[in-house]
Amino acid sequence: MPEPLLDVTGLSVAYDTARGPVLAVDDVELSLERGEFMAVVGESGCGKSTLMFAVAGLLNPPARITGGAVRFRGEDLVTMSERDLNALRWRDFSVVLQSAMNALNPVATLAAQYKDAMAAHGTHTAEEIHARSTEVLELVGIDPVHLRSYPHQLSGGMRQRAMIAMALLLTPDLVIMDEPTSALDVVAQRSLMVQIKELQQLLGFAVVFVTHDMSLVSHFSDQLLVMYAGQVVEQGPTRTVFDRPAHPYSRGLLEAFPSIRGPRVPLRGIPGSPPDLSAPPAGCRFHPRCPLVQEQCHTTEPALYQVGEAHSRCLLHLTEAAR
């Protein structure tokens, strides 16, 4: 077996607060092969962004990694020096954040920002930089005349695509995208998603794509990771999880966002909201909202149990596995 491109083991992240540490990422495992597309889904506040920041080495206090490893091509990013990390970032893996408005520099043209990103990674001539900047903008469907534009002169969708173009400048092996489409309307989200998938197939990079809208990724991702209250609650091939969601939370998420192609059904979703992570519920963290809650769920913490090709953190599957 070749080693995975990205191998996250036992990763935990806490925010230090006045009331004590808040565990926002709790013992997360994930593994991604070259060229693979993984979607990370879950409601707001479940730790998705914290996980991505930890994977990309972008966490700042009060957040800190309390355990685990993030192996990228075999090297642990958690223990790597900032200098070595900076050498990898953009060139070998890149990150597209939720709001490109914040990620792009408002007082610099796209050309200037692309130049900075490339210049930080080796010697490129002005011609090389211009040629590559033009190329990546064309890849994301933006007219290269916009190299002279400032971020505020672009629409929201164009800014997101300009950010994705920047992430592709140095042909990384991995692109981490944290809700890159969530500021856009539904139609623009869909078309950006299609474009990301086409680029991925053309260029062969792996993707970790974060979204709170599970329906967005159904046709695009290979693997699905469902997060709830800082933990992975279900993980498996995307088709399997969509066709036969094992965890009641995954089922609830699917009902909250019906397929845009499917018949119109009333939104049922999941009543309530994710717990305050400074005081998560005892037992299964989802039990206060779970339609299938049983007595033991109040006190017994479920592990991740194998269910066919997937894994589910639900006591339902403990009893199934024991039979």
Ligand X SMILES: Nc1ncnc2c1ncn2[C@@H]1O[C@H](COP(=O)(O)OP(=O)(O)O)[C@@H](O)[C@H]1O
- Judged by CB under 5 A, which stretch of 44-52, 165-173, 233-241, 255-263 contacts Mg ion? 44-52
Q: Which does 176 bind (CB under 5 to 8 A by kind): Mg ion, ligand X, none?
A: none
* Per CB under 6 A, 228 contacts ligand X: no
Q: How many CB atoms lie within 10 A of CB 139?
A: 17
Q: Indicate which of ligand X, Mg ion, none lies near residue 223 (CB less than 5 to 8 Å, by partner kind).
A: none
Smaller CB distance to ligand X: residue 48 or 115?
A: 48
If binding is defined by CB under 6 A, does position 24 make contact with ligand X? yes
Residue 306 engages ligand X in binding (rule: CB under 6 A): no
Query: Between β-strands 223-228 and 37-41, what pairing exists: parallel, antiparallel or unpaired?
Result: parallel
Of residues 153-172, which lie at the interface with ligand X (CB under 6 A)? none
Footprint on residues 35-94 left by ligand X (CB under 6 A): 42, 44-50, 62
- Cβ distance to Mg ion smaller for residue 231 or 312: 231
What b/e readout covers 254-272, taking b as 16+ CB neighbours within 10 angstroms? bbbbeeeeeeeeeeeebee
CB of 259 to Mg ion, least distance (A): 23
- Smallest distance from ligand X to CB 277, Å: 4
Q: If binding is defined by CB under 6 A, does position 11 make contact with ligand X?
A: no
17 lines the binding site for ligand X (CB under 6 A): yes
277 binds ligand X per the rule CB under 6 A: yes
- In the block, residue with structure tokens 């001539």: 125
Calculated CA dihedral for residues 83, 84, 85, 87, nearest 10 degrees = 90
Residues that bind Mg ion (CB under 5 A): 48-49
Residues that bind ligand X (CB under 6 A): 15, 17, 22, 24, 42, 44-50, 62, 277
